[in-house]
Amino acid sequence: MYYKISIYSLNHHIKNTICSSVIGERTTHTHRNTAMNNTLTQVSGAIGSALLITVMNTRTTAVATDLTASGADPAGIMNTAMMQGINFSFFVSTFIAVIAVILSFFITRPKKQPTEEEKERVNRRVPVEE
């Protein structure tokens, strides 16, 4: 539950930042922000899952090789290796989460707000005059 609350507040902050700095108004073109947010969520979830499964499999293989070389009981090798791989994968995900929490303290709001002229130009799609 707390994870969703923090992610939703971060998403809200990102959407407002994109709307106010790129598009010009907070209420305009939010469907583009939502589509971008949904796409990035799906892609990052797939990459994160692949990364953690790779870490788990690598650790499982390494532990199974070590246990086989040490002459451990063949029946318990796979269970022990798999549990150590899963535990290591959870350790890596916890480390990533701690880094993300630390980095979240450095998120700031943009200081420059778009002017009325910029908002009007973006909404009417008028080219920039130089």
- Per the structure, the count of domains in the chain is 1
Residue 82, in any domain of the structure: yes
Q: Is residue 52 within 8 Å of 86, Cβ to Cβ? A: no
Range of the domain at 104: 2-124
Residue 82 in tokens: 């798999």
Residue 130, in any domain of the structure: no
pLDDT, one tens digit per residue, over 4-14 is 455 666 666 66
Please give the mean pLDDT across all residues of the chain: 77
Per-residue pLDDT for 2 more than 50? no
Q: pLDDT value at position 81?
A: 94
Burial 24-61 (b: 16+ CB within 10 A, else e): beeeeebeebeeeeeeeeeeeeeeeeeebeebbeebbe
Residue 69, in any domain of the structure: yes
Identify the residue whose tokens are 């290591």: 88
Residue 95, in any domain of the structure: yes
Residue 20, in any domain of the structure: yes
pLDDT, one tens digit per residue, over 40-59 is 888 888 999 999 999 999 99
Residue 50 to residue 45: CA distance in whole angstroms = 9
Residue 114, in any domain of the structure: yes
Per-residue pLDDT for 24 more than 50? no
Residue 129, in any domain of the structure: no
Residue 43, in any domain of the structure: yes
